Amino acid sequence: MSAKALIMQLLTGSKLQDGKYTIVKFLGQGGFGITYQAKTDKGDVVAVKEFFMKDSCIRADDSRRVSVPSKSAQADVERFRLKFIKEARRLQQLDHPNIVKVFDVFSENDTDYYVMQYLDGGSLSDNVKQFGPMDELTAKEYILQVAMALRYMHQEKHICHYDVKPGNILLSGGKAILIDFGLSKNYDDGGQQTSSTPVGISAGYAPLEQYQQTLQEFSPATDIYALGATLYFLLSGKNPPEASVVLEQGLTCPVKMIPPTWNAIQMAMMPVRRQRLQSIDAFCWTLDPSGTLSPDRQVKTTQTEGDNDERQTVTVEQVGGQMNGLYEGQQQPNGPQAGYQPASGYPPKTWMVESILVLIFCCLPFGIVGVVYASKVSGLYAAGHYAEAEQASLDAEKWTKWGFYTALIVYGILLLLQLAAGR
């Protein structure tokens, strides 16, 4: 069996579904599938994904049909083929501007295909490798877009993605689009998994519970860890440390960033799941507490009662209201696991307390010198040294003024810095 046969793709110009789709070019191949660019019979550009396990499947040189020559591999191939179809059907049910759209699912050539939205902007991973780390504003905008997709999945569909990473977020028209639902899991209304299939690992983006395969109960915190790790990569250009390293050594800020951004990354990537941010609302509010980054960011949630769909718009301000008391460990209104227990030492002192402490240390020397000169005045007057007493009085007044003006300048600088940091 030649290596050529194992990686053979459909040729350019190949027709699928009686000419409904025409293969334009080969885009890429992974362990379980081949992706092509194609055109529909109406002229639309789409992406077509074909199930093809490169280590087990072959396609004869003179045929488009896929076969599995090894009998010992047939059971595994069939299991993953059914998983491929399940992923396609799941994606077909999702309707969100930041999730890749699937238009069609079908079987042909003794294998399976699904047709999806064609995204031409490359992945976030490609973008960082080509142009270097992103500026903070751009990175946060993309992350918040993906966060809205995850919020929709978690709250409306009870789905966890389990493979959020820069390579699975593509760009199109300035939007970040989440793809690759091969590791995703559905959960029932009681929060229990609907399948026991083991979940794969992406080092640096998977938390400890994913390594331990303790994902039987629904918890958005696992996707939140990966989202924080993705932001870490976008800003630093470096893969985040593996979960075991974060547990043993903690997380070090890789580049300069404003406090809310670093707080969001730290709180998303807490090694212990219950100490992590427990909902996408909590993550967004920590990352962008003022809501000014995306002023039009609104999330629609659907509640179905009978045949009527009631849509409710949740604004950033309302999310902020839900977040009151988060740092005190109060429970959020999103389920039994919504309570957040902050890590030791968090949150930090408020900016006002920090400012007062800085003022004291900056201005104390001026005050001490002023007091020393003032204490000399009465002694010099008593000794009859009037000229020296007058000079000491002027010096005391000068140092006191310096202390006062320094306090005003330092306080003003601190205030501007804290306002710029969004605290």
Is there a contact between 46 and 116 (Cβ–Cβ < 8 Å)? yes
Q: Tokens standing for 263? A: 């707080």
Torsions phi, psi for 83 (to 5 deg): -65, -40
Q: Measuring CA to CA, which residue among 343, 359, 341 is closest to residue 351?
A: 359
In this structure, what DSSP letter does residue 296 have?
T
Cα 17 from Cα 40, distance rounded (Å): 10
Nearest to 180 by CA among 166, 195, 192, 198: 166
Contact 7/29 with Cβ under 8 angstroms?
A: yes
The per-residue DSSP string of 57-75 comes to: -EE-TT---EE---HHHHH
Task: Give start and end residues of each alpha helix (H) in 250-385.
Answer: 259-268, 280-287, 316-322, 351-382
In sequence order, what are the residues at sequence separation of 6 or more whose Cβ sits closer than 8 angstroms to the Cβ of residue 308?
A: none
Q: Residues 109, 64: contact at Cβ < 8 Å?
A: yes
Q: Is 197 exposed, middle or buried (0-12, 13-18, 19+ CB in 10 A)?
A: exposed
Question: Among 115, 1, 121, 98, which Cα is nearest to 47's?
Answer: 115
318 bridge partner residues? none
Print pLDDT tens along the chain (423 aa): 444 444 478 999 999 999 999 999 999 888 888 999 999 999 999 999 999 988 889 887 667 889 898 989 999 999 899 989 988 988 898 999 999 999 999 999 999 999 999 998 899 999 999 999 999 999 999 999 999 999 999 989 899 999 999 999 999 988 999 998 888 888 877 777 666 566 777 899 999 998 888 777 888 999 999 999 999 999 999 999 999 999 999 999 999 999 999 999 999 999 999 999 999 999 999 999 887 665 344 433 333 333 444 434 444 444 444 343 333 333 333 333 333 333 333 334 455 666 666 667 666 676 676 667 667 766 766 676 767 777 777 777 777 777 777 777 877 787 777 666 655
Q: How far apart are CA 100 and CA 232, in angstroms?
A: 23
The amino acid occupying position 113 is: Y
In this structure, the number of other CB atoms found within 10 A of the CB of residue 37 comes to 16
